[in-house]
Amino acid sequence: MLHIAEKDQFVPPEAQKQIKDALASNPQVTIHSYPGMDHAFARVGGQHYDKSAADAANKRTEDFFKKHLG
């Protein structure tokens, strides 16, 4: 699972596209993109924290762990 902040100041759109294209055919990889989000959007207290996007990412991660780790 990969969470991508689409406005990540450290990973430009071209790099994000390369990552997505390289992993698109791998059935074991799930990519979630977060439009308008910057780096570390899920870090509580961080400069770019966004509760709504963080909650979505955390829920997706929790569900993934439950499914794959029991």
User: Does residue 8 have an active-site annotation?
Assistant: yes
Pick the catalytic residue from 8, 48, 63, 68.
Answer: 8
Taking CA atoms, 62 is separated from 4, 25, 51, 70, in Å, by 17, 24, 16, 11
Pick the catalytic residue from 38, 39, 48, 50.
Answer: 39
The structure tokens 């430009």 sit at: 12
> What's the CA gap between 52 and 32, in Å, rounded?
14
Residues annotated as catalytic (active site), given as ranges: 8, 39
